[in-house]
Structure 1
Amino acid sequence: MPRGPIDVIVEYSLRRWPQLVERAEEMSRLDAFKLLVLTVLSQVTTSGNTWAAFTRLEERVGVEPHRLAAARVEDVEEAIRPAGLWRGRARALIQLAREVVTRFGGDLEPLSRLPTEELRRELMSLPRVGPKTADVLLLFHYGRRVMPVDTHISRLARRLGVASGGYEDVRKAIEASAHGDLRLVHLALIAFGRAVCRARGPRCWECPVASECPSRA
C-alpha cells in the first residue's frame, strides 16, 4: 500500500509523541457526553489546559448531563478556569447539558443506531456543536471512520496540497488518503501542526516530507 505524505507525517509524529496512543484510548473510553464536554473545553486552548479543566469539572461538579444541567454557573466557571474563557464556556456547557436532558433524557448512547450522516446532524443540532466537535464524537466514541479537522490539520492539508477547500474538502481528502486508525491520524496531525508545521515560523527542517512540500519555506 503506497504511503503518502499524511502517512509519513503520522508515523513520524507517533514516534516523536508516543503518548498520543494512550491519549486516543483515554478519549475513546469516555462516554458520549463526557467526550462532548471535553471537546467543547478544548476549543482555543491547549491539550493540557483542556484536561485540567475537565478533571476539575468532574471532581467539583460532575460531568453528567443532569448534574451539569442543575449546576450553579459560578461553580462551573471556577472548575473550568484552566481552559480559559470560563464565563462563556460555563454557560454554554450548562445550556448543552440542559438540551441533552430535554431532548435525549440525558443519554446520547441510543444515537449510535443512526447512520453516520444522520448522527452528525443530530449532534450538530446541539448548542456549541459544529462539524469538528460532531466528528470528534463520531470518531472517538461512535467508531465511525471520519476525520475531525481543526485549524492545524486544515493548514497542514493546504500546505501539502492535499486539499484546498473548506472543512468538508479537507475532511474527505484526509479520509481518502490516510491509512490506519483515524484516531491516531487526527491526534498525530494536530501535534505535528502545533510543533512543526506551525502557522508562524514553520520548522520545515524538522518535517519528514519537506522535500516534496510545495509550500516549503
Structure 2
Amino acid sequence: MKTKATKTLEKLKHIYDLMFAYFGPRNWWPGETRFEIIVGAILTQSVAWRNVSKAIENLRAAGILTLEAMYKAPIEEIEKHIVPTLYWRMKAKKLRAFVNHIMDNYHGDLDKFLQKDKEELRRELLSLYGIGPETADSIILYAAEQPVFVVDAYTRRIFHRLGFFEESVSYDEMQQFFMKHIPPDVRYYNEYHALIVGIGNRFCSNKKPDCGNCPIQSVCRFKQRNKVENEG
C-alpha cells in the first residue's frame, strides 16, 4: 500500500512530466559565468527576464560584468546600464553590496564563497542588503549548484490552483513541502522551478489564466471548478 508521501511524490513527478513534455529543457539559469547568474538573480526582482537580459548585455558591452570591474565602477555607471530592470538605483546598491562583500571578505574569490555549506551560505546571503529568500535560493541553486528548491509567486498561484496549498502559504512552507517530497537533486530542482515559471508566464496568469491550453489542465482543480461553474 502506497504511503501518502509516495502518492504526493508521484503527483509532483506527474506534474513535472506534463510540463516537461510541453516545454522541454528550459536551460536555466542563463548566464556565461557564476557571477553573471548572480547578477541576473538580483536584477530579476520584480521585473520580466527580457528586461534583465537587456541590462546584462549593457553591462557586458560596458566591460563591467565581472566582479572586479563592477567593484571598481562608479555606482552611477552601474545604474545607467541597468535602467531596463526598473528600480535601478536600488538594484545598483544591491549589486554593489554583494560585490563589496565578496571583495572585502573573500579577496574576490567567488568560488570560495559559493563552496560554503548550503545553510551557512543561505544565512550569509540573507544578511546582505537587498537579498531575500528567493534571490538567495536562486543563487544557491543556479550559481552554487547546491540543492535547494526555489519557490516564488508562480509556485504559490499554480500549486494553490492545483490544490496543494492555501493561497496564504508562506515561502518557507512551500519550500519545505517540495524538499520534503522530492529527493535533493540540483538538475531536477533547477528544471522544476524553470518549468513552473514557464507555466506561470505562459498560462497561469493571475486574472485571466489560459486554462484551455495549459499543459497541466488535466490535474488542475481550478480548471475543473471553472468548467463546472461555466456549465452551471
TM-score range for the pair, normalised by the shorter chain length: 0.7 to 0.9
Is 1:14 the counterpart of 2:20? The answer is yes
Is the radius of gyration larger for structure 1 or structure 2? Answer: 2
Q: Show the counterpart of 1:201.
A: 208
Spell out the pairing of 1:56-95 with structure 2 (5 A cutoff). Answer: 56-95=58-97
Conserved? CA contact 1:116–1:144, under 8 Å: yes
Question: What is the TM-score with the length of structure 1 in the denominator?
Answer: 0.85
Spell out the pairing of 1:143-162 with structure 2 (5 A cutoff). Answer: 143-162=145-164
Quick one: percent identity of the two aligned structures? Answer: 24
Q: Distance in 1 between matches of 2:58 and 2:19?
A: 29
Amino acid aligned to 2:141:
L
**Partner of residue 173 from structure 2, selected from 169, 172, 175:** 169
Conserved? CA contact 2:55–2:82, under 8 Å: yes
Deviation by residue 1:64-98 (Cα, 9 ceiling, x = unmatched)? 23321221223212211222222222233223322
Q: Distance in 2 between matches of 1:144 and 1:176?
A: 16
Q: Distance in 1 between matches of 2:21 and 2:54?
A: 25
| Number of residue equivalences | 213
93-102 or 132-141, which moves further after superposition?
Answer: 93-102
Q: How much has 1:19 moved relative to structure 2?
A: 5.9
Q: How much has 1:61 moved relative to structure 2?
A: 4.1
- In structure 1, runs of 5+ residues without a counterpart are none
Question: What is the TM-score with the length of structure 2 in the denominator?
Answer: 0.80
Residues 113 and 37 (structure 1), Cα distance of their counterparts in 2 relative to 1, 3 Å cut: closer
Residues 15 and 144 (structure 1), Cα distance of their counterparts in 2 relative to 1, 3 Å cut: same
Q: Show the counterpart of 1:138.
A: 140
Deviation by residue 1:136-172 (Cα, 9 ceiling, x = unmatched)? 1211122222111111112112222323320111112
Conserved? CA contact 2:19–2:216, under 8 Å: no
**Partner of residue 213 from structure 1, selected from 216, 220, 223:** 220
Amino acid aligned to 1:159:
R
Amino acid aligned to 2:175:
R
Q: Secondary structure at the match of 1:146?
A: coil
Deviation by residue 1:28-47 (Cα, 9 ceiling, x = unmatched)? x522x332211011111111
Q: Secondary structure at the match of 1:198?
A: coil
Conserved? CA contact 2:94–2:131, under 8 Å: no
Q: Secondary structure at the match of 1:114?
A: coil
Q: Secondary structure at the match of 2:204?
A: coil
Q: Distance in 1 between matches of 2:192 and 2:135?
A: 16
Q: How much has 1:178 moved relative to structure 2?
A: 4.7
Amino acid aligned to 2:201:
R
Q: Distance in 2 between matches of 1:158 and 1:177?
A: 17
Output the aligned Cα RMSD: 2.4
Q: Distance in 2 between matches of 1:84 and 1:160?
A: 32
